[in-house]
């Protein structure tokens, strides 16, 4: 479990394919102490530390992950966002992020402003139902608020801090990013169902031989 508050950026030093699996080596942030089996969100993808050479760490991605995320595009020199998993002593400054990427989305527009930037992503139709204006969304693992929603297009505003500490500042039109919808929105939509109303189970009470 994560919060979408990025703790570091790191460079991919190698990415090699072993059968159907891709092994990715990344620079380890200098002050981080990692252990084998630890969970790290890499661009929003919940990843397991499999190898831990000095100054680096490695993760592996299976075909299902490669199908749903941008992990297959990680190459030498790529810059990715990192976040260690949440502990019971941490503040949840963003929102609850599972690291289970729902889909990738294409950047439809990037608008530069004085010190900020607005980015619009084209969401898959199957995912847009879980996104609401002023609701939360994770893009490359970054917890963000949806500033505007128009059909399947969601726009977020990036402040200078976000541009500085994440890789979102380098995004260009037509780039692809990892998207995770808000977990609470997913539960709410599931509860409402296709009818859009909360269903209640009927209770049959028998009193004196009559059905109430």
Question: What is the set of domains in the chain, with CATH numbers?
Answer: 8-84 (2.40.30.20), 103-192 (2.40.30.20)
What percent of the chain has a predicted confidence (pLDDT) above 90?
A: 81
For range 166-185, the mean pLDDT: 96
Cβ-based neighbour number of residue 125 at 10 Å: 9
Q: Residue 207, exposed/middle/buried by CB under 10 A (0-12, 13-18, 19+)?
A: exposed
Q: Kindly tell me if the per-residue pLDDT of 135 is higher than 60.
A: yes
Residue 152: CB partners within 8 Å, gap ≥ 6?
122, 123, 124, 125, 128
* CA gap 91, 116 in Å, rounded: 26
Task: Supply the pLDDT for residue 65.
Answer: 97
| Chain position carrying tokens 């729902």 | 102
Nearest to 175 by CA among 117, 86, 123, 107: 107
pLDDT, mean over the chain: 91
| Residue pLDDT, tens place only, 177-195 | 999 999 988 888 888 875 5
Task: Give ∠ CA 110-113-118 in degrees, rounded to 5.
Answer: 35
């Amino acid at each position: 479990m994560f919060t979408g508050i990025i703790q570091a950026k790191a460079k991919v030093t190698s990415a090699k394919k072993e059968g159907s699996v891709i092994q990715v080596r990344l620079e380890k942030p200098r002050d981080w102490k990692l252990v084998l089996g630890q969970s790290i969100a890499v661009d929003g993808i919940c990843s397991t530390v499999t190898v831990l050479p000095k100054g680096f760490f490695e993760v592996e991605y299976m075909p299902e992950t490669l199908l749903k995320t941008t992990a297959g595009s990680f190459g030498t020199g790529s810059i990715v966002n990192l976040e260690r998993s949440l502990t019971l002593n941490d503040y949840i400054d963003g929102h609850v992020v599972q690291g289970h990427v729902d889909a990738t989305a294409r950047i439809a527009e990037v608008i530069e402003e004085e010190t900020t930037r607005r980015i619009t992503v084209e969401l898959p139709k199957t995912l847009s139902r879980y996104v609401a204006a002023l609701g939360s969304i994770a893009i490359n693992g970054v917890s963000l608020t949806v500033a505007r929603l128009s059909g399947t297009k969601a726009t977020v505003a990036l402040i200078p801090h976000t541009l500085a500490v994440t890789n979102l500042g380098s995004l260009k039109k037509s780039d692809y990013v990892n998207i995770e919808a808000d977990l609470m929105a997913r539960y709410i939509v599931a509860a409402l169902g296709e009818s859009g109303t909360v269903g209640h189970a009927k209770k049959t009470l028998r009193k004196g031989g009559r059905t109430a």
